[in-house]
Structure 1
Amino acid sequence: MRRNATTRYPILLIHGLFGFERIGHFELFHEVKEALKTTGNRVFIPHLSATHNNEVRGEQLLRQIDRVLAGTGAAKVNLIGHSQGALTARYAAAHMPHVVGSVTSVSGPNHGSELADFLRKALVPDQLPDSVALNVVTLFSEFLTLMSGSTTLPQSALAALNALTTEGVSRFNDKYPQGLPHTWGGHGAELVDGVRYYSWSGTLPTTKAAMLDPVHALCRGLSEYFITEAGQNDGFVGRYSSHLGTVIRSDYPLDHLSSLRRPVIGASALPDPILLYIEHALRLQAANL
């Protein structure tokens, strides 16, 4: 029997940095979108710049929210943002709270990414030892080789990187503090300006199946560049940096991309990352969203 997890408002799944339609052997958001549609939801994936700052992507999202509302007749939308998509969603909700029912951050760098800090320093001569700079840039370059896709929208990798550093996100948070915790590692307000805020994220798993996944191997390599949240990150985002609104959980055994997909190799992860989205749809349904 098909499970009914139909939300009142349409769901928009918002990709993050380098969020093309396909990454490696899987389509971005494909399993999530199909699972949510199977449970009765109207699901849309906005077309946003793969690389740009939060404001540019946020303005693009606002225009597409208008189109979804016009096309569906809905009064509001539910925004679920992965990685930088969480910051994009927060921008949209801050500017148009009357048309946003909820913002959900999945593995979002809501207080910045230590990896982005390292990458930014690696691009500036003499900021890091040559061997460290070379290694972190090489690892990230290997990650980018897994990406494929194209877009006609404006792109700026440097603008995106600056927007994801702890300094860049701190400036963003000064303008858009909705849902942010007042203490490090705490919860933020769930309801702000009529918008409900939620978040979940993971930390690197240690299962044998995960170790065989090439994407996970790169996440594990990149995780070595975390200092504040060493051992408490998913390879791209620190556990406590991800907190926003009501924190559902921030230590699921999932690397940064596993919060979007089931494992390519080996047995299914526990919990099933796709079921997390169904459970959240039920949570939104219960909140009349």
Structure 2
Amino acid sequence: MMKKPQALLCAIMAASAAIASTQSQAAAGLQHVTANSSASYAKTKYPIVFTHGMFGFTRIGFDSFGMDYFYQILPDLARNGANTFAAQVSPLESTEVRGEQLLSQVEDVLALTGQPKVNLIGHSHGGPTTRYIAAIKPEYVASVTGVAGTYRGSLVADKIQANKTINSVFGVLGDQLLAPIITWAEGNSSLPNSVDASLTAISEKGSAEFNAKFPTAALAANCNQSGAKVDNGVYYYSWTGTAQTTNVLDVLDTVISQLAPLAYGNRDNDGLVGRCSTHIGQVIRDDYNHNHLDEVNMVFGLRSLFSPDPVALYRQHANRLKLQGL
């Protein structure tokens, strides 16, 4: 838990960040974050496109008062020279449906920037969603980075679907309440949503079927092996955390981070996704002191005082891509 001076400093820095960067709708559903900066630490060759996970969004609210899914991450990258975009896909849908939505926005980015490729970064279900693009349009993709990606699925989804009562409640909350509110708040209420399709996609069973349909050497046969760093010209990277409760003030985090320990019967996960499931390509690290929402700096940056800054991890990764010539 942050002490008052630290909390004040963070608030000042966040306010400064909002002033120093600009967020705009570059195309339908596509958020473009820019900044006036001469820095080049994160200046990759190709633009970076972020994709959210289940129940995700680009931005809810307004520039003056709102919250990004990748909280403070895109503005920081923009101030360090990166050309950054956040895609808007259905909060709840199959990987293929979300993937086709993302493909349309990737093509918008290519048209807007004049670049032939993009670097894709996906969190949670955003991991397989970005991998879908690499599978069907590898010529568009320089790299795919998964942050707690559900590449082998999450047993949480299997358990929910196996319990009729919980599955019904989850369906009502998702299809009729949460997802419609999210898409309305984003200004894109026409986006389709399906809890059942979403749960199936991120389940262990559904993920295995997706991987069989779209195989890649970047995904190793098991967790004791390493996947290929480069497959079909696309570079693959991944990282994740293995923490659950990291800040008692972050109530939302604390609640959802108990689901995976209950499903798996262990704590080798980030509260929602098992560590093994997240491995693809070059595994940068798989034991950060982050839970599933800390990995994208939510909610409002609350996390353990002794954990690495998520914003810095993305900045460092952009530099990694830059040095790789991506």
TM-score by length of 1: 0.86
Query: How is 1:87-166 mapped onto 2 (pairs within 5 angstroms)?
Result: 87-122=128-163, 124=164, 133=166, 149-150=182-183, 151-166=189-204
Q: CA contact under 8 A between 2:121 and 2:144: conserved in structure 1?
A: yes
2:267 corresponds, among 231, 254, 275, to 231
- Which residue of structure 1 lines up, in the alignment, with residue 20 of structure 2? none
Shift of 1:280: 0.5
State the 1:149 CA deviation.
Answer: 2.2
| 1:221 equivalent in alignment to 2:262 | no
**Residue number among 35, 53, 58 corresponding to 1:16 in the alignment:** 53
CA deviations over 1:2-32 (Å, ceiling 9, x no partner):
4621000000000111112457984212411
- Name the CA shift for 1:92/1:145 in 2 (closer, same or farther; >3 Å): closer
Deviations 1:147-179 (A, max 9, x none): 952232111111111111100000000022221
1:130 aligns with none
Q: Which stretch of the first structure deviates more once superposed, 1-10 or 66-75?
A: 1-10
Q: Give the structure 2 partner of residue 212 of structure 1.
A: 249
Name the CA distance, whole Å, in 1 between partners of 2:270 and 2:101. 28
Q: SS of 1:172's equivalent?
A: helix
Deviation at 1:61, TM superposition (A): 1.1
**1:244–1:23 CA distance, 2 compared to 1 (3 A):** farther
8 Å Cα contact 1:114/1:225 also seen in 2: no
Q: Tell me, yes or no, if the aligned pair for 1:23 and 1:146 is still in contact at 8 Å.
A: no
CA distance in structure 1 between the aligned counterparts of 2:57 and 2:254, rounded to whole angstroms: 20
Post-superposition Cα deviations, 1:49-104, rounded to whole Å, max 9, x if no partner, equal 11100001111111111111111100100000011011110000111111100000
Calculate the aligned-residue CA RMSD, in Å. 2.6
- Which deviates more from structure 2 when the two are superposed, residues 258-267 or residues 86-95? 258-267
CA displacement at 1:266 relative to structure 2? 6.9
**Structure 1 segments of 4 or more deviating over 6 A?**
144-147
Contact in 2 for aligned 1:185/1:241 (Cα 8 Å): no
CA distance in 2, matches of 1:170, 1:79: 22
The answer to whether the 8 A contact 1:111-1:166 is kept is yes
Unaligned residue ranges in structure 1 (runs of 5+): 126-132
1:205 CA displacement: 4.9
Contact 1:18 1:147 in 2 (8 A): no
Match of 2:146, SS state, is: strand
Separation in structure 1 between the aligned mates of residue 90 and residue 253 of structure 2, nearest angstrom: 25
User: Which residue pairs with 1:83 in the alignment?
Assistant: 124
Secondary structure, counterpart of 2:50 in structure 1: strand
Are 1:193 and 2:232 matched, yes or no?
yes
Shift of 1:264: 4.4
Please give the alpha-carbon distance, in whole angstroms, between the structure 2 residues aligned to 1:161 and 1:173: 16
In the TM superposition, residue 220 of structure 1 has moved relative to its aligned partner by: 3.0
1:4 has 2:41 as partner:
yes
Structure showing greater relative contact order (alpha-carbon pairs closer than 8 Å, 6 or more residues apart): 1
Which of 70, 75, 80 pairs up with 1:39? 80
Tell me, in whole angstroms, the C-alpha distance in 2 between the residues paired with 1:65 and 1:87: 15
Query: Take 1:278 and 1:266, find their aligned partners in 2: how far apart are those partners?
Result: 18
Q: SS of 1:244's equivalent?
A: coil
Distance 2:257 2:140 in 1: 38
Q: Deviations over 1:95-148 (max 9, x none)?
A: 1111100000001111010111111112x36xxxxxxx59x969x98xx87995
Unpaired runs of 5+ residues, structure 2, are: 1-37, 184-188
**Number of the residue aligned with 1:252:** 288
Deviates further, 176-185 or 88-97: 176-185
Contact 2:257 2:271 in 1 (8 A): yes
Residue of structure 1 equivalent to 2:308: 271
Structure 1 residue 187: Cα displacement: 2.1
Task: Give the Cα–Cα distance (whole angstroms) in 2 for the partners of residues 269 and 20 of structure 1.
Answer: 28
Residue number among 74, 85, 91 corresponding to 2:115 in the alignment? 74
